[in-house]
Amino acid sequence: MEELNNLLHGFSVALTLPNLGFMVLGITLGILIGVLPGLGGANGIAILLPLTFSMDQTSAIIMLSCIYWGALFGGAITSILFNIPGEPWSVATTFDGFPLAQQGRAGAALTAAFTSSFVGAFFAVLLITFLAPLVAKFALKFGAAEMFAVQMLTFCSFVGMSKEPPAKTLAVMALGFAMAAVGMDTVTGTLRMTYGFPELLKGFDFLIAVIGLFGIGEILLTMEEGLAFKGKSAKIQLNIVLQTWKELLRYWRTSIRSVLVGCWMGVTPGGATPASFMAYGLARRGAKDKDSFGKGNVEGVVAPETAAHAAGTSALLPMLTLGIPGSPTAAVLLGGLLIWGLQPGPLLFQEKPDFVWGLIASMYLGNIVGLIVVLTTVPWWAAILRIPFSVIGPVIIVICAIGAYTVHSSIFDVIMMLVFGVFGYLFKKLRYPLAPLVLALVLGDMAESSFRQSMLLSQGSLSIFWANPLVAGLMSLSFVMLLWPIVPALKHYLRGRD
C-alpha cells in the first residue's frame, strides 16, 4: 500500500506541465536516435546529458529516461522497414519484421513491435515499482564488503553471460579499470597515470569516453561499410492496429515468457540484446510452425521486442537501488545522477523520494506517450532515412563534438572523444564488447573504494568477504558466474573421458 501512495505522489510530480513537455521531447528525440544507425540509447543520452545540467534534477532524468524509451521504440522502425537494426537489440526483429514488410504487412509488423515493446516495458516498470523499495531497504544493511561483493558479482556476470569470448570481456574490463584509476587517488591524494597532463587530474570523463566509443566509433564503421537506406514505406491505419491487436492475443504465452526473460536479463547484467535473441529462440522452439520463423511470422516480432523493452527497463532496478547499472545506457544514466550530486542506492529512496517516484511514474507515462507517438508518426521517421548517409554522418559527428565540448568547455575533451572514437572503431572491428569497458570505467572508482575500505576495516584480511552469509553468498555467486564459461568445455572433456 505504501508503494501505491508513493507512486500516486510520483504521478503528481511527473504530471506537471513542464515534465510532460520534457517527456514528449525526450520520446521524440529518442525515436530519432533509435531510427538513425550510428546513434544509440547510451550515446544519445551521453550527447544530450550536458544540455540538462541547468534543468531541475527530476525533469532532467525524466527527459533522459524518455530518450531511452524512444530509442527502444525507434530501433524497430528501421529493422522492419529497411532491414537495418537501428539498435543492437533490434537485430532479432529483422528476422521476421522485414519479411512481413516485403509481404505488404509493414503496418501489422510495426504495430506488433510497438505494442509488444509497450507490454514488456509496462511489466518491467511494475517490477521496479514493487520490488525497488524492498531491495533498497534490504541494501541499507550493506557495508563496504557487501557493496564490493555486489560490484564483483556485476563484473563477473558480464564475463559469464557475455556472448563474446571471456578473454575479450576481461581484456576490455581491465582497460576500463585502468582508465578509472587515472587521476588523483581519493585516499592518499597522490597522482596516478596523468603523465604530465593537467587535464587528467580528474581522470577520464565517462561521458567523453561513451560519446567517442559508441558514437564516433559506430559512425566510422558505418562509413566504411557504405550504408545505404533502401526499404519499404509504411502507414499504420486504425483498422490494421485493431486487427493486429486481436491477433496478438493469441501470443500471450510468448509475451509472458519474453517478459520473464527480459526482466531477468535486465536485472542481471545480461542486457536487452541477448534477451531479444533468447526470447526469439524460445518462441521458435515452442512454436508449432517453426518453419515459418524467418519468413514473416508475427510471433517472431513479438518475442524479441517484448524481451528487449523488459530488459531495457528493468535494468534501472539495480541502478536505482544498489547503484549498479544493468546496461550501458543505465551506466550513462548513473553517471548523470552522480554529476547532479545524487548517489544512486538505498538512501536515494529516503533522501529524494520526489525524484525516485517521479522517475518511476514517468516510466508509465513515457511508455504510453511513446506508443501513441510511434503509431502516429511512422511515415515521418521512415522519410528521414531517405536522406543520404553522407549528410547524416557528418551531422552526427558535429553533435557528438558539441556534446563532448560542453562537458567542461574544453577542446582537450573533443580530442579525447576522437581518440576514444578510434578505439571504439577498432573494438567493433575486432569484435571486442564495449559494455564491460563502460561498466568498469563508471564503477571502477566505487569498486576500488569499497575494496580499500573493506581492507582497512579488516586490517588487510580477505576473510571479511566471507564474514557473514550475505557477503559470502554474493562472493560465491560471483565466482560461479566468472567460471561459468568453462562449464561447457568441462562437460565436453568429461564426456570424452567416458
Q: What is the pLDDT of residue 441?
A: 81
3-state secondary structure of 164: coil
Residue 340 has pLDDT above 60, yes or no: yes
Query: Running DSSP on this structure, what letter comes out for residue 187?
Result: T
- Phi and psi at 365, nearest 5°, equal -65, -40
Sequence length of the chain is 498
* Residue 74 to residue 27: CA distance in whole angstroms: 9
* Residue 326 to residue 478: CA distance in whole angstroms: 15
Q: What is the pLDDT of residue 37?
A: 57
Helices (H), 15-162: 17-35, 41-48, 57-82, 91-102, 106-139, 144-161
Taking each helix axis from N to C terminus, what angle separates 57-82 and 91-102, rounded to the nearest 10 degrees?
50
* pLDDT over 90 percentage in the chain: 0
User: Cell digits for 322?
Assistant: 544498489
3-state secondary structure of 184: strand
17-25 mean pLDDT: 85
Residue 268 has pLDDT above 70, yes or no: no
Indicate the pairing of strand 183-184 with strand 191-192: antiparallel
pLDDT band at 236, cuts 50/70/90? low
pLDDT band at 161, cuts 50/70/90? low
What end-to-end distance do the CA atoms of the chain give, in Å?
Answer: 58
Is the CB of residue 339 less than 8 Å from the CB of residue 53?
yes
pLDDT band at 83, cuts 50/70/90? low
User: Cell digits for 359?
Assistant: 522517475
23-27 mean pLDDT: 87
pLDDT band at 39, cuts 50/70/90? low
Q: What is the pLDDT of residue 331?
A: 73
Residues 435-488 pLDDT 10s: 778 778 877 877 888 888 888 888 888 888 888 888 888 888 888 878 877 777
* Residue 224 to residue 66: CA distance in whole angstroms: 31
- CA atoms within 13 Å, Cβ hemisphere of 55: 18
> What's the pTM value of the predicted model, to 2 decimals?
0.67
Q: What is the pLDDT of residue 496?
A: 66
Q: What is the pLDDT of residue 54?
A: 74
pLDDT band at 86, cuts 50/70/90? low
Summary mean pLDDT of the chain: 78
* Residue 261 to residue 274: CA distance in whole angstroms: 10
Residue 44 has pLDDT above 60, yes or no: yes
pLDDT band at 16, cuts 50/70/90? confident
Is the CB of residue 106 less than 8 Å from the CB of residue 234?
yes
User: Higher model confidence: residue 151 or residue 458?
Assistant: 458
Query: Running DSSP on this structure, what letter comes out for residue 52?
Result: G
pLDDT band at 234, cuts 50/70/90? low
Is the CB of residue 324 less than 8 Å from the CB of residue 136?
no
User: Higher model confidence: residue 274 or residue 263?
Assistant: 263
CB atoms within 10 A of CB 396: 22
CB atoms within 10 A of CB 223: 16
Residues 385-429 pLDDT 10s: 567 767 777 877 887 787 677 667 788 888 888 998 898 889 888
Query: Running DSSP on this structure, what letter comes out for residue 39?
Result: B
- Where on the phi/psi map is residue 155: left (φ > 0), alpha (ψ -120 to 50), or beta? alpha
Is the CB of residue 403 less than 8 Å from the CB of residue 229?
no
Residue 178 has pLDDT above 80, yes or no: yes
pLDDT band at 145, cuts 50/70/90? confident
User: Cell digits for 301?
Assistant: 516480432
Domain residue spans in the chain?
1-496
Residue 139 has pLDDT above 80, yes or no: no
Residue 237 has pLDDT above 60, yes or no: yes
Helices (H), 226-251: 238-248
Q: What is the pLDDT of residue 12?
A: 81
Q: What is the pLDDT of residue 498?
A: 58
Q: Which residues contact 265 (CB under 8 A, 6 or more apart)?
A: 161, 271, 272, 274, 275, 278, 307, 311
- Strands (E) in 69-199, as ranges, are 183-184, 191-192
User: Higher model confidence: residue 41 or residue 491?
Assistant: 491
Residue 367 has pLDDT above 80, yes or no: yes
User: Higher model confidence: residue 6 or residue 192?
Assistant: 192
- C-alpha distances in angstroms, 114 versus 111, 256, 376? 5, 16, 11
Q: Which residues contact 225 (CB under 8 A, 6 or more apart)?
A: none
